[in-house]
């Protein structure tokens, strides 16, 4: 998936003759906090709601004010992950897209990015989530997938993150069932640390309640 495939068909661009109030109205309608200013096909920069509030005269044309505008953009053929990187790094609600001639083609909204990511990662599909915490040398994708599938469960998606405050990796696994008991037991048998899990099935609560009761009995011996 590249940038041109995610361009919004509804979010408009602004002209320098548009007022700040017009920009705020569009931002409210589309639930965004940035809009591009475009002169014909030339991208002049992004204006934010904060920029407009700082003008103190929202009814005047944007072009009447001296603004220091951000000019972030991606090109039409840049990969989805690069789009996400720019949006995250600059905390943007829209990401302008330019063609090979630096002509403005539209914007990608972060809402559309999230929706698309949810689709390709199967996060919008029924099933449970398991998060493992492990050191890098213990990371074996084939073994982890084998453990899951050995319990007649299918992996829908998985991804690795590296938390900034930790020396360990976190592996998030989305599976096609909410009954995670057998999978978690197998991970623990292979000495994997299950950091957390998410399921709508109450079997996990029962499972860990039983383990807690066993621990209490052991401590009272």
Residue 172 lies in a domain: yes
The last residue of a domain, from among 53, 88, 118: 118
- Here the tokens at position 96 are 């302008």
Residues 6+ apart with CB under 8 A from 140: none
Alpha carbons 71 and 46: distance in angstroms, whole number: 6
What are 99-113's pLDDT values in tens digits? 999 999 999 999 898
Q: How many domains does the chain have?
A: 2
What are 160-194's pLDDT values in tens digits? 888 777 788 889 898 999 999 999 999 999 999 99
Q: DSSP characters for 94-129?
A: EEEEE-TTSBEEEEEEHHHHHHHHHHHTTTTSS--E
Q: Is 146 in the same domain as 179?
A: yes
Q: Is 169 in the same domain as 66?
A: no
Q: Per mean pLDDT, which range of 23-37, 58-72, 154-168 is the poorest?
A: 154-168
Q: Is 27 in the same domain as 107?
A: yes
Residue 216 lies in a domain: no
The last residue of a domain, from among 118, 152, 180: 118
Distances (CA, A) of 59 to 52, 56, 67: 10, 9, 16
- Here the tokens at position 163 are 């938390």
- Structural domain containing residue 32: 3-118
CATH number at residue 156: 3.30.2130.10
> 164, 174, 182: which is closest to 199 by C-alpha?
174
Residue 63 lies in a domain: yes
Alpha carbons 97 and 75: distance in angstroms, whole number: 5
What is the pTM for the complete model shown?
A: 0.69
> 100, 108, 104, 106: which is closest to 39 by C-alpha?
104
């Amino acid at each position: 998936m590249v940038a041109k495939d995610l361009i919004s068909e509804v979010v408009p661009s602004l002209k320098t003759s548009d007022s700040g109030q017009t920009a705020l109205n569009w931002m409210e309608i589309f639930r965004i906090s940035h809009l591009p200013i475009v002169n014909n096909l030339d991208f002049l920069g992004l204006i934010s709601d904060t920029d407009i509030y700082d003008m103190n005269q929202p009814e005047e044309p944007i072009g009447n004010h001296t603004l220091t505008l951000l000019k972030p953009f991606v090109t039409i053929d840049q990969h989805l992950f690069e789009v996400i990187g720019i949006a995250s790094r600059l905390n943007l609600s829209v990401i302008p897209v330019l063609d090979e001639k630096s002509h403005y083609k539209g914007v990608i909204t972060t809402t559309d990015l999230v929706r698309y990511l949810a689709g390709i990662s199967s996060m919008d599909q029924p099933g449970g989530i398991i998060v493992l915490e492990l050191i890098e040398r213990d990371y074996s994708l084939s073994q982890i997938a084998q453990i899951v599938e050995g319990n007649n469960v299918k992996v829908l998606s998985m991804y690795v993150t590296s938390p900034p405050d930790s020396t360990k990796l976190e592996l998030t696994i989305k599976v096609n069932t909410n009954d995670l008991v057998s999978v978690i037991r197998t991970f623990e048998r292979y000495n994997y640390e299950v950091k957390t899990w998410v399921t709508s099935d109450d079997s996990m609560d029962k499972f860990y309640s039983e383990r807690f009761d066993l621990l209490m009995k052991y401590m009272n011996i």
